[in-house]
Structure 1
Amino acid sequence: MAAFPLKTYQKTALDTLLAFAQAAQVKGAPLAFGELAGRPYNPDPFGPDVPCVCLRIPTGGGKTLLAAHAIPLLGRAWRASDAPVAVWLVPSDAIRAQTLKGLQTPGHPYRQVLADAYGERVQVCALEDVAQIAPPDWGRVAVVVVATIQSFRIDDTDKRNVYSFSESFERHFKAAESEQPRALAALCELPDALVTAEEATQDGRAALRGLVGQPRQSLANWLALHEPIVIVDEAHNTKTDKSFTALKRLAPSCLLELTATPIVAKSNVLYHVSAQELAAEHMIKLPIALAEHPEGWPQAVFAAVRTRAALEAEALKDEAAGAAYVRPIALYQAQNAGDAVPPEALRRHLIDELHIHPEEIVVATGSTRELDGLDLSARTCPVRHVITVQALREGWDCPFAYVLCSLQRLSSATAVEQLLGRVLRMPHATRRGREALNRAYAHVCEAEFSSAAHALADRLIHGMGFEALDVASMLAPAASLPLFEGNSASPPVQQASIATNFEAIDPNDALTELPGVAVQTIAGAPQVVVSGHIGTELEGQLLAGVRGAKKQEAMREQIAQHNALVAAQTAPSARGERFAPVPPLGYREQPQGELWPLEREAVLESVEIDLLTPEAIDLPGFQVVAQSRSFEIYLKDEHVKLRPAEAGQLAMPYGGSGLTAQDIVRWLEQSLYAKLPEFTPAQREPWFAAVVDRLLHEKGVPIEVLAQARFTLARALEAKAGDLRDAAALRAFRQQVLDGGWQVVPDWARPHVFEPGRYPAPAGSRYAGRYEFRKHYYPVIAELKEAGEEFLCAQLIDMHPKVKHWVRNLDVAPAGFWLPTSRGRFFADFVAELADGRVALLEYKGAHLSGAAEIEKRQIGDLWARQSGGRAMFGWLMQTQNGQSLAQQLDAALA
């Protein structure tokens, strides 16, 4: 089994982590984080020299897969090692067993990630098996230790076996005396790492008497000696002093946290994945079709049973069309024991009143564990209904869960996030052919859609890692989403406007006279209820009704959530409107030849790059300067300081004990073949050999130094290959595309389509201003601030009478639309569909044209429009241009 292919957002998260690790080596973690994340770095509690960053991945985003990829990434980029030691910490023993099994099982996608990076040179083990790894293997094979954070978290280290003296580690520490003397000496700086006189006195076997003042031969000290990469899953659970102390005792070289709900003040969130990104990659089902049942729980259960049955019928049709097998399952959150509908009462109701076969129902509570041993994804498994009350067993999976039915009030129910998280996950991470199977379904006992929606939104935000702007496109009333495709017999019900009651606001005349504001009696007291978009004036009145900075900030968050839900309801994509197809560029080599997609790679295929020219083998930015106890590697404007490696740590995965130039060449080929796929091995290996030979003999770099600097050398070669490609592509693109070597025309037969629900707007970059955009196609707007020149440009587009709807274009394929350039892809800022059906690309530049790259973008945009036969337009917009204002330029572009 191959490793799961990475989704676009997962690649971006890992690319960001790689950029941080490389920059932190040169600039330090605080500066590197500040440049990438745009906010200050929190050095607590590990200080500025131990990078500690967080990837915020919401429920269903694949944290475990990302963690597996992070080990070789950080091993090479931060530790400069092909054989790092990693300690992978999880919150519970159930998750530990599940993670360990995946990482140890040959062919499992998690194991395959490590196998792709290290081949057979990797060992994955639990804490109790660490001592079984032979001392010579440390530093020669990658070691991944999977444990719970509780294994290390304790006040008294004598009470925890991981900190105690262990005879099984005596041979390990003996080997370290000669192989790793500096690392062994560094252990003396760690808290509670040394054998005390009192400890030696209490040792009945007298084994410790000769070790007083020396590092204790313990499991924890052995791991600390290797300065491991530490991966912390569900990291929000480890932000305590006790956890920090435990982590410090491991002497980590770096920490990577993965969580859906980081503690913002204590976590350095480097990258944040949004719900739109998950949905665009088919990781989760959206929207959640929410049905409220004020008439009582029997109606909610009946509706959930009907929904599940209808979904199974849809799944059978989908499978008949070639889709993978799915058997939709309903999850029920019953009431507590002593209430009206505990689990057994709900089971009896399903059997006696709704005639569900008993074998289709299982109960999963603390005392009833009918899920144990079941493979719910097996075709032979009969289970279609799972009943629980509180949290389900951690590590339990339900890949076919589709329907959530909660008999508890969402605002008071606990652990509904676990159920909702399972319902949200998309089976097989693949979009289904039947539209009903791409949604999740929730039946709840709430009196109003607005209260149910807000309660569910709170769960999604505070318990599952989504934001208010994420939730905007995640909820929809079930009445507006017919279950069956083409069901015209019962048209969608017009949904009511989103309404929010502001409990903290006292009704007053000035407020209630504003549009959309009403006063309703709720829970026996008059409350202000607002429907529709909350604009600047109304927001000011609401904020004026509360006192104190914290209350006003909570009010702003409530207003933002309200407006996000309103936007989700009113956006063109939510109303079922379609965006006009937008044609990419294609090319023909001959006038009557086949039309091929035009992109940079096609241009590069028309030229050959010679890697053995004097220019190609010269790396002017790569220099090695020896110091007394270390050496520095310079790469262009960067430099990395490295201390001499200890014995055994320079071992290459090739050859014998003596390093050769060919060992380094073979290592470079293994490390770079996937990053330089456009060159064949017959091109790469002679190039690597020529570069290594020049560095060894002309530059006088010692081979041991070059071996230790091999990771920086690989970066230099990758950058050099990029420079050579850029130069070749620039020449060929000018000749073939811009100067008419090929026939280049828009390809209307293979257009780009802006699909509803496919807009992976990155978290933290979305528009959250007061102005209400009415024509943006999607509920959220990516990469747009609430003020500034680009905001004013978006306003003019939104208000323009010729614009039907528009998209703030994403610079990521396949969601965003792009045109090719010699440097890659050009994603114009805005794409608009006009009322007459034409389409327009609009690029805004705050300053005048500067640089060849910008000129080339304008040239390719003009070419695309010119060749469209008047069906497409391109506008290059500036604050002022040729005496025209921005509004005048937009008029001209859309004329």
Structure 2
Amino acid sequence: MTPISLKTYQQAAIDTLAAFARAARVKGPASAFREQTGRPWQAGAFGDDLPCVCLRIPTGGGKTVLAAHAVPLLAREWAAVDAPVAAWLVPSDAIRQQTLKALQTPGHPYRAALVDAYGEGLRVCVLEDVAQIAPPEWGRNAVVVVASIQSFRIEDAGQRNVYSFSESFEPHFRGKDERALSRLRALPDALVTPEDVARDTTGVLAGFAGQPRWSLANWLALHQPLLIVDEAHTTKTDKSFTALQRLNPSFILELTATPIATKTNVLYHVSAQELAAEDMIKLPIVLAEHPEGWPAAVFGAVQTRRKLEAEALKDEAAGAGYVRPIVLFQAQNTGDEMPPEKLRDYLIDELKLPANQVVVATGKERGLDDIHLAARDCPVRYVITVQALREGWDCPFAYVLCSLQKLSSATAVEQLLGRVLRMPYAARRGREALNRAYAHVCAAEFSQAAHALADRLIEHMGFEALDVASMIASQSSLPLWGNDLEPNQALTPVQQAPIATNFESIAATPELLAAPGVQQRAVAGVAQVVVTGHISQDTEALLLAQVRGAKKQEQVREQVAQHNALVAAQAAPASRSVPFAPLPTLGYRLGAQAPLWPLEREAVLDAVELDLLTPQAVQLPGFQVAQESDIFEIGMDGARVALRSAGSAQMAMDWESSSIDADTLVGWLDQSLFKAPELAGLTQSQRRAFLAAVVKHQLHSCGVPLVVLAQARFRLARAIEAHVGDLREAATRRAFQQQVLGLGDGGAWLIEPDWAHPHVFEPGRYPAPVASRYGGRYQFGKHYFPVLADLKDGGQEFQCAQLIDRHPKVRHWVRNLDTAPCGFGLPTSRGRFYADFVAELADGRVALLEFKGLLQHEPYELEKRQVGELWARSSGGKAVFGWLTFEGLAQQLDNALA
């Protein structure tokens, strides 16, 4: 069973978490967080010593699969244990059942991530089954306990079974030494009180006053579990803090789309652009407003679904997976004009839809129960609800949201929208219409509906304002389909209606009305100030001058920022489906008549032979260890400690005489590193011979005792991995210089541009990380995408971007991302080189522009420049490369683009 490959943003989140865990072990969680994020640490209820960090993942981003991968990572990088205990806390029983089923089902990707690390000995259970896991299994097999936070959240600990004294836990607590039990004495409500003894009518508690309870919660706390907290924004209460403290966690990992900023340490924030680039969500949301009322909205949604199904049939005929587009109707409340039952009758009686295609799912009617919507023989195409669908229900076939309520007042519309946003099978479809979500709403105009929809996406679904600006498009600007569209054919948009924002609390003064784009209009019968086009700083100042109070002024600033983001998104070339010229990749031939192969670092690696048995190869420069007695607290038994192999066979090791031998440690290292990419290509015998030589060198040449080396085995594994990586990098650099750059004594490959497989910047595929986005006042007029990443407001690189944006020879440009396949990179001996800027010129050429600020003389910087110049030189004049420094920057840019 193999776990699914993580998306690029998911791997980035996991890598960030791993870096934090390693740094926190050395510097402490607070210092590590501040250094890694540049933001202050929110100590909250847990202080500076307990790591409590959050991965912010918007709706549809795959929080659960990240959590599954995080458990073995934190066990390795933070807790340094082979068989961790993890408590997986969720906000409701419905989600608990869903999560439990996934983690217990063989072959499910969530379970696969854990089984890949811990084997089939993994135990996944509910609270009621904890006592049934035999004491010897704890510390031998990984244990994941799935529970709802409500099971632990209560003021009186005696009122919850998880805190109650239970004789079923006698085998677990009997024989535990005082050192282990002492951990419980500082926890809230962990000890038997005199009042407990007095209330006990069985006599079981006699003599236990002041002693730790034999309880489920205390047993978990004894193991200092890793806590996974799903939907963590719901746990920011005093009761929840107390509940989490009672579990004595070693690490708390929170996952949510909408963290509470003042109470959360957001370590990594995923953007909607990143989700869209990985085909996790459908974008944009094509929004159709229906001022005529609900009949027009309903009819429009039905027609949209029918056309989408026709597209899906064509897509399936071309080899894509089965999809049956579904409409989610949000009906009005009972007592209003169009409640669920009446809407169902309307669809069947008036629009003549087959009755078996329409189901109602409300608190009273459970039309979705026992229906498998993804099955081919399922007829359902329309689902009617009012507030919210059952928690945990998911169907990526949902494509169209039709809300008969006002978006600004409708409750739970974000939940329905979240269903519509998910992309079927997380894969881009061949028919362009199937890569978008659709919303039909009862609104007077697009701007009104867009603002209401944007508010929902931002406030309740975890998306950023800059993301949302490019997520919503009007139906008139993006036709749902053309006539006989070919697969992947771009849709040609028409001129979009201008974005207009009304400012309810602003008076229409003569000075304000004289500003560009400002008018006075009647909105819902009331005269209001309405602004179209970009709002300048001067106009914003006029708006703010009429508002009193910091809170109201901040609301106006947020309105202005959202308006300008929508305007910028509408104007961006990518939003208007303007194509970006393709950029040639590099290929190589081994001879003049040989086929052209893609040039990648891996091709060079295949030609590298690495000898890992030389005296230099088995040394680990800079590796030092010291005895860490606290690493082995779990599993201790007197003077002996358990060292577990990946096969879960328990082997006892004596602290003094060290009954474990070097072969056992080598076997553990082999199990830990056999999947490491740095050791890829080695057979097991080659790998074990190398690892044995490393261990022998540490024991005999460095004088490290075996028991200390065994304690530091996680750090030893990381040091070996890093050392082999360094050796491979040095060997690859030598081969790359000879074969690609032609700097050796012959044997160089023939390097050519590969125009048959170019890189293409696609609209909707610019995964800009939230933390590095440009948010300055200067408006870049030629950036291809509506969002601009990895650029600060000010500084030398900012000035370089301004010069590119204003240059007459530049048609449009991209702040290049170092993220494949969305960014454009050239191969190097270390991987890929992503130039800072990519431009399409007015004459059709393409340009790579790398800005360095100062001259760089490091060998790898020289290699990047050589690769860029090779790419341009081999293009036959169709591409240029510029290596720019700050002094004389404008002239250098002119020369590069000449």
State TM-score, norm by structure 1. 0.96
1:399: Cα distance to partner?
2.3
In 2: Cα distance, 1:38 partner to 1:678 partner:
39
Of stretches 739-748 and 464-473 in structure 1, the one that deviates more from structure 2 is 739-748
- 1:737 aligns with 740
Q: Which amino acid aligns with 1:217?
A: W
1:714 aligned to 717, 732, 748, which one?
A: 717
Q: Which amino acid aligns with 1:74?
A: L
- 1:370 aligns with 367
3-state SS, counterpart of residue 281 of structure 2: coil
In 2: Cα distance, 1:597 partner to 1:420 partner:
41
- 1:340 aligns with 337
Q: For the aligned residues, what is the CA RMSD?
A: 1.8
- 1:457 aligns with 454
3-state SS, counterpart of residue 530 of structure 2: strand
Contact 2:478 2:492 in 1 (8 A): no
3-state SS, counterpart of residue 386 of structure 1: strand
- 2:809 aligns with 802
Counting only pairs closer than 5 Å after superposition, residues 331-730 of structure 1 correspond to structure 2 as 331-486=328-483, 492-626=493-627, 630=628, 646-647=636-637, 648-652=641-645, 653-654=648-649, 656-657=651-652, 658-675=659-676, 676-730=679-733
1:102 aligns with 2:93: no
In 1: Cα distance, 2:492 partner to 2:852 partner:
45
1:493: Cα distance to partner?
4.6
- 1:129 aligns with 129
3-state SS, counterpart of residue 772 of structure 2: coil
2:861 aligned to 851, 854, 860, which one?
A: 854
In 1: Cα distance, 2:649 partner to 2:698 partner:
20
Of stretches 556-565 and 477-486 in structure 1, the one that deviates more from structure 2 is 477-486
In 1: Cα distance, 2:245 partner to 2:437 partner:
42
Q: Residues 287-316 of structure 1, C-alpha deviation per residue, up to 9 Å, x if partnerless?
A: 000000000100100110111111111111
In 2: Cα distance, 1:649 partner to 1:160 partner:
33
1:169: Cα distance to partner?
0.5
1:843 aligns with 2:840: no
In 2: Cα distance, 1:108 partner to 1:823 partner:
34
Q: Which amino acid aligns with 1:369?
A: R
State TM-score, norm by structure 2. 0.95
1:232 aligned to 205, 229, 232, which one?
A: 229
Q: Which amino acid aligns with 2:206?
A: R
In 2: Cα distance, 1:604 partner to 1:347 partner:
62
- 1:197 aligns with 194
Q: Residues 19-43 of structure 1, C-alpha deviation per residue, up to 9 Å, x if partnerless?
A: 1111111111111111221211112
1:359: Cα distance to partner?
0.9
In 2: Cα distance, 1:65 partner to 1:859 partner:
41
Cα gap change, 1:857 to 1:545, in 2 (>3 Å): farther
- 1:776 aligns with 783
1:285: Cα distance to partner?
0.3
In 2: Cα distance, 1:730 partner to 1:107 partner:
40
2:831 aligned to 812, 824, 839, which one?
A: 824
3-state SS, counterpart of residue 566 of structure 2: helix
- 1:635 aligns with none
Counting only pairs closer than 5 Å after superposition, residues 267-282 of structure 1 correspond to structure 2 as 267-282=264-279
- 2:167 aligns with 167
2:883 aligned to 871, 876, 879, which one?
A: 876
3-state SS, counterpart of residue 88 of structure 1: strand
In 2: Cα distance, 1:430 partner to 1:167 partner:
52
Q: Which amino acid aligns with 1:878?
A: T
2:841 aligned to 828, 834, 846, which one?
A: 834
1:453: Cα distance to partner?
0.1
1:619: Cα distance to partner?
1.2
Of stretches 493-502 and 444-453 in structure 1, the one that deviates more from structure 2 is 493-502
Number of equivalenced pairs:
877
In 1: Cα distance, 2:704 partner to 2:151 partner:
45
Q: Which amino acid aligns with 2:840?
A: E
Q: Which amino acid aligns with 1:724?
A: L
1:319: Cα distance to partner?
0.9
- 1:120 aligns with 120
3-state SS, counterpart of residue 271 of structure 1: strand
1:305 aligned to 302, 307, 318, which one?
A: 302
3-state SS, counterpart of residue 691 of structure 1: helix
In 1: Cα distance, 2:604 partner to 2:767 partner:
29
Contact 1:436 1:485 in 2 (8 A): no
Contact 1:762 1:782 in 2 (8 A): yes
Cα gap change, 1:258 to 1:140, in 2 (>3 Å): same
Percentage identity across paired residues of the two chains: 68
In 1: Cα distance, 2:606 partner to 2:425 partner:
35
In 1: Cα distance, 2:405 partner to 2:183 partner:
55
Of stretches 506-515 and 71-80 in structure 1, the one that deviates more from structure 2 is 506-515
Contact 1:535 1:772 in 2 (8 A): no
- 1:80 aligns with 80
3-state SS, counterpart of residue 471 of structure 1: helix
Q: Which amino acid aligns with 1:9?
A: Y
- 1:756 aligns with 763
- 1:315 aligns with 312
In 1: Cα distance, 2:673 partner to 2:466 partner:
40
In 2: Cα distance, 1:601 partner to 1:37 partner:
32
Contact 1:655 1:663 in 2 (8 A): no
Q: Residues 416-439 of structure 1, C-alpha deviation per residue, up to 9 Å, x if partnerless?
A: 011000000001111111111111
Cα gap change, 1:93 to 1:643, in 2 (>3 Å): closer
- 2:40 aligns with 40
Q: Which amino acid aligns with 2:767?
A: P
In 2: Cα distance, 1:798 partner to 1:494 partner:
23
3-state SS, counterpart of residue 624 of structure 1: coil
In 1: Cα distance, 2:566 partner to 2:880 partner:
33
Q: Residues 565-599 of structure 1, C-alpha deviation per residue, up to 9 Å, x if partnerless?
A: 11221111111211111112222222332222222
Q: Residues 148-186 of structure 1, C-alpha deviation per residue, up to 9 Å, x if partnerless?
A: 000000000111110000111111001433xxx422211
Of stretches 98-107 and 569-578 in structure 1, the one that deviates more from structure 2 is 569-578
1:521: Cα distance to partner?
2.3
1:502: Cα distance to partner?
1.7
Q: Which amino acid aligns with 1:454?
A: H
Q: Which amino acid aligns with 2:699?
A: L
In 2: Cα distance, 1:132 partner to 1:654 partner:
20
In 2: Cα distance, 1:320 partner to 1:858 partner:
46
In 2: Cα distance, 1:854 partner to 1:709 partner:
36
- 1:886 aligns with 889
Contact 2:626 2:708 in 1 (8 A): no
In 2: Cα distance, 1:491 partner to 1:690 partner:
64
Contact 1:274 1:470 in 2 (8 A): yes
- 1:638 aligns with none
1:69 aligns with 2:59: no
Q: Which amino acid aligns with 2:357?
A: E
Q: Residues 190-243 of structure 1, C-alpha deviation per residue, up to 9 Å, x if partnerless?
A: 111111122112211111112211110000000000000000000000001110
3-state SS, counterpart of residue 314 of structure 2: helix
- 1:26 aligns with 26
Cα gap change, 1:3 to 1:411, in 2 (>3 Å): same
- 2:655 aligns with none
Q: Which amino acid aligns with 1:667?
A: W
3-state SS, counterpart of residue 726 of structure 2: helix
Q: Which amino acid aligns with 1:506?
A: A
In 2: Cα distance, 1:114 partner to 1:863 partner:
45
1:723: Cα distance to partner?
1.1
Q: Which amino acid aligns with 1:169?
A: F
